[in-house]
Amino acid sequence: MNRQSQAAVLFLLGAALLHAGTTDLYLRYVKSGLRPLVLAAGAVLIVTALATVRYERRRAKEEVPPESHPEPRVSWLLVLPLLALILVAPPALGSYSATRTGTALQEPLAYPPLPATGPLSLSLVDYAGRAVYDHGRTLAGREVRVTGFVALDHDGTPYLIRMALNCCAADAQPVKVALSGSIPPVLQPDTWLTVTGTYTPRRVEDPVNGGPIPFLKVTAAEPVKAPRDPYDESWNN
C-alpha cells in the first residue's frame, strides 16, 4: 500500500476506536477505566492519518513523482476487520468460554462491612469470595441477591457466572457460583438472572482446574437484561 492508502487505513482505524469509545462498544474489549486511552488512541491515529495526507500532497507538489507500480489489491482486505469493528458489535464472552475455563476466584484483600439490614445486593465475585475464603461468616443468616449469566456444566450442574478481567476481554476468566434450591425448571445458557438466596457451606471443585466453586441456595430467580458492562472488574481491585 502507498502512503495515501496507509493514511486511509489509519483514519478508519482511528474512527473505529472513536466510535467504540463514544459508545458502549469498547466494553466488549477493555475495562471501563480504559475508555480515555481508547479515545486518545483514536484521536492520535486520525491526526496521524491527516498529517500523512498533508505531507504527501506537499511532497507531490515539490518533487517529480517517481515511476510507481500498482499495489496488490489484496492489501485492502486489511480494511475488512475495521469495518467489522464499526458495523458489528461482538457479543461478550459467555457460557461456552466459561464452561471450558477454570474458575478464577481469588482471595479478597479485605471484606468491606455489609449493611446491617435488608437483602444484600452483592456482586457475584464478592459473594463467591466471602463464601469460600471467609467461610460465609458475613453471609450466614442473610438474604443475598446476585446477578450473572447461566451456564450448565457437563453433568447438568447450573452455574451463575460473571467473567472477570484485569485489562481486556482477552484475559477474561469466569468466576462461578453453583445453584441449588428453588432453581427454575428450564435454564437456557447465557440467560442473565438476578438470583435471591442464602449462603450454604456446600462447595465443589471446578472440573476444569480444581478451583473452589461455592453454592448459593436459591429462593427466587428473575430473568434480567444483560448489564451495560457484562464483565466484572472488582476481583482485582
Please, what are the domains in the chain? 3-90 (no CATH), 96-236 (2.40.50)
DSSP string over 169-213 = GGG-EEEEEEEEES--S---TT-EEEEEEEEEEEEEE-TTT--EE
pLDDT one-digit tens code per residue, 6-56: 788 788 888 888 877 887 777 777 777 778 888 898 899 888 888 888 888
The C-alpha angle 42, 60, 12, rounded to 5 degrees, equals 20
Distance CA 151, CA 102 (A): 13
Distance CA 48, CA 44 (A): 6
Q: The C-alpha cell of 126 is what? A: 464478592
pLDDT one-digit tens code per residue, 67-105: 555 555 666 676 776 666 666 666 778 899 899 999 999
- CA 5, distance to chain mean position in Å, is 33
pLDDT one-digit tens code per residue, 176-217: 999 999 998 888 999 999 999 999 999 999 999 999 999 999
Query: 157, 178, 170, 1: which is closest to 72 by C-alpha?
Result: 1
